Structure 1
Amino acid sequence: MDILEALDEGKRLSEEDCYKLYDLDLQVLGFYANKKRLKLHGKKVYFNCNRHINPTNMCVDTCAFCAFSAHRHNPNPYHLTHEEILKIVDDTVTRGTKEIHIVSAHNKKGGWEWYFEIFRKIKDKYPHLHIKAMTAAEINFIAKSFFDGDYSAVIDKMLEYGVDSMPGGGAEIFDEKVRNELCASKVSSDNWLKIHGLWHQKGKQSNATMLFGHIESRENRIDHMLRLRKQQDISKGFNAFIPLVWQKDNSFLKDLKPLGSIEILKTIAIARLVLDNISHIKAYWATLGLNLAMVAQEYGADDLDGTIEKENIQSAGGAKSANGITLQDFIDNIKTSNLIPIERDSLYNEIKEY
């Protein structure tokens, strides 16, 4: 079957056809991606009121793309206490935050208890808050450091201490040759997928990400999406895919030109067409900028992420996301685009239409 015929009929694309998608014109990809997006979500644009907290930037791993880790180009190492984290939570709750998103570096200081006890403290004080925490990379690090490599034991601890869903970080690019150059000491691609599969077996949901725009090829991106599609067929727990645009400032990857808007929009549209079994495609404004994230809503994306309030990881690499974005800015930008602002919870239950 011709690839355009498959797209017209809304059928699942073969792996062979998926690798041909980048050959199509941006407007052709946008047409079919937007058609799929409208079928799934109409003109709704989702976002949530969330607060990102990054408890430490002291990391044992040395990922070439990272500007956040303190032992690279970041001269300001820090390690928050639980009291400092709770103070942040106390403050953000007053502004209606509903999700606490906690992603940390890989640091043995304090043992596994330092990672998990803060979740219980937040839940004890604010049982209504949704805790999204522990990337597969963090789980891999904690399992190897403290649990004899037992991923299931770490996941059981997450559930015991109050984690509600998993973020998608640490996926980067699944191709192992590329991964060896980017993050050789981090969780492998197979184990990233295995960890999310184990989490899904518990009836829990997670995000999936892909970091692109560095040394990977277009074929690497398609391979990455196809591996996610295969995993989703099995475990059915990914609620969103987040293509993250790599931020080049302060990294150890040199002489790389940033991607242009056309390549970024093509990748988002292709994600919508390939990942037919993942409901939501997120245009993460923290790496795209809000303007391009809004354009992406017409190229297959249906979500912007959230207000964030404070962001350390992407902003360390040059993104203009350090201080988050206001709820009103989300609403105004979505309405101006003739789309419908929908505040959601972390699992995509609709809270309010503006």
Structure 2
Amino acid sequence: LHPTLPWKYYPRVLRELKAALPDVALKCFTATEVHYFETISGRSADEILDELMDAGLESLTGGGAEIFDWEVRKQIVDHHTHWEDWSRIHRLAHSKGLRTPATMLYGHIEEPRHRVDHVMRLRELQDETGGFVVFIPLRFHNDNNRLSHLPMAQPADVLKTFAVSRLMLDNFDHVKVFWVMHGLSTSQLALNFGADDMDGSVVEYKITHDADGFGTPDKLTRDDLLALIRDAGFTPRERNTRYQVIREYDGPIPLVQRRAVPQAVWA
């Protein structure tokens, strides 16, 4: 949340991006940022979303969710966007035809009950609006932040989190594994524990790599992603922001040709 930039800066950036890249879908801003825009502009979220959509916005991001329980949330965030604000803004976005992701940051000071509470709130909101397109669990990274003393969630916990989320969120069409947050081998395994989407050829994700202590690469090529997915036993499909299939690639590597350990080349 930039402390000095005025509200008008943000729709102007969207207009300039859309003019330069008219075929690119603009998925921008968390509900936390929209809540902040309300504060600095004196406008309602309704007015803010209308202006952003007029400037080219096609979807919010799902960030800023962290963990919804306030007793946990107030210890891990520097802003004051409560669940009530986050859900209000996503509900409003859905009413305007914007389909959005939803996230959960796990593996820090929360307990399993807080994860369950978080997922149940999303399930109930999805029953109401139907506007969430994907759920994205995000593993907390413990380097270079004030919670660096905490151990990171281990792969078994990661995979259980994906599996339970997939079972509970039967009204979400998709569950995404963000390879930047989970590492390549664990991300491959997550495809067998409920995830059906592996995020794209990200060139740089500074927030995570500043807090990454286990050497996840900072980018993957298209061929890297295709190999990861095929080697896990799945057929890669390229999609757009709305999960419409753009291209289907060749199917998985035959079982007898796969490596014994998924993507051991990156281990």
TM surpasses 0.5: yes
Q: Secondary structure at the match of 2:236?
A: strand
Q: Secondary structure at the match of 1:199?
A: helix
* Residue equivalent to 1:57: none
Q: Secondary structure at the match of 2:177?
A: coil
1:23-51 Cα deviation digits (max 9, x unpaired): xxxxxxxxxxxxxxxxxxxxxxxxxxxxx
Percentage of identical aligned residues: 35
Matches within 5 A, 1:68-107: 106-107=1-2
Q: Distance in 2 between matches of 1:178 and 1:184?
A: 12
The question of 1:159 aligning with 2:53 is answered: yes
Equivalent of 1:147 in 42, 46, 64: 42
Tell me the amino acid that sits aligned with residue 94 of structure 2.
Answer: H
The question of 1:119 aligning with 2:5 is answered: no
Q: Distance in 2 between matches of 1:327 and 1:211?
A: 27
Which structure has more RCO (C-alpha within 8 Å, separation ≥ 6)? 1
* Residue equivalent to 1:16: none
Equivalent of 1:330 in 225, 229, 240: 225
Equivalent of 2:108 in 210, 214, 239: 214
Matches within 5 A, 1:14-53: none
> Is 1:310–1:322's contact at 8 Å kept on the other side of the alignment?
no
**Runs of at least 4 residues off by over 4 Å:** 319-322
1:254-306 Cα deviation digits (max 9, x unpaired): 43111111111000000000001010000110100121111000000001111
Classify 1:254/1:328 alpha carbon distance in 2 versus 1 (closer, same or farther; 3 Å). closer
Tell me the amino acid that sits aligned with residue 212 of structure 1.
Answer: Y
> Is 1:214–1:256's contact at 8 Å kept on the other side of the alignment?
yes
Number of residue pairs aligned between Structure 1 and Structure 2: 248
> Is 1:309–1:324's contact at 8 Å kept on the other side of the alignment?
yes
Q: Distance in 1 between matches of 2:79 and 2:218?
A: 31
Q: List runs of 5+ in structure 1 lacking aligned partners.
A: 1-105
> Is 2:209–2:218's contact at 8 Å kept on the other side of the alignment?
no
Q: What is the CA distance between 1:146 and its match in structure 2? A: 1.1
Q: Secondary structure at the match of 2:237?
A: strand
Equivalent of 2:68 in 142, 163, 174: 174
> Is 2:191–2:232's contact at 8 Å kept on the other side of the alignment?
no
1:111-131 Cα deviation digits (max 9, x unpaired): 112222111111112211101
1:111-154 Cα deviation digits (max 9, x unpaired): 11222211111111221110100100110111111124x11111
Q: What is the CA distance between 1:184 and its match in structure 2? A: 5.3
RMSD between aligned residues: 1.3
* Residue equivalent to 2:32: 137
The question of 1:278 aligning with 2:183 is answered: no
* Residue equivalent to 2:256: none
Equivalent of 2:200 in 283, 289, 306: 306
TM-score by length of 2: 0.90
Q: Distance in 1 between matches of 2:29 and 2:37?
A: 10
TM-score by length of 1: 0.68
Equivalent of 1:240 in 109, 128, 134: 134
Q: Distance in 1 between matches of 2:106 and 2:26?
A: 27
Classify 1:136/1:271 alpha carbon distance in 2 versus 1 (closer, same or farther; 3 Å). same
Q: Distance in 2 between matches of 1:243 and 1:193?
A: 17
Q: Distance in 2 between matches of 1:343 and 1:168?
A: 21
Q: Distance in 1 between matches of 2:242 and 2:136?
A: 15
Q: List runs of 5+ in structure 2 lacking aligned partners.
A: 250-267
Q: Secondary structure at the match of 1:141?
A: helix
Equivalent of 1:295 in 189, 198, 215: 189
1:137-184 Cα deviation digits (max 9, x unpaired): 110111111124x11111111111101111100000000100111125
Q: Distance in 2 between matches of 1:222 and 1:250?
A: 28
Q: What is the CA distance between 1:186 and its match in structure 2? A: 3.1
Q: What is the CA distance between 1:321 and its match in structure 2? A: 5.4
Q: Secondary structure at the match of 1:306?
A: coil
* Residue equivalent to 1:102: none
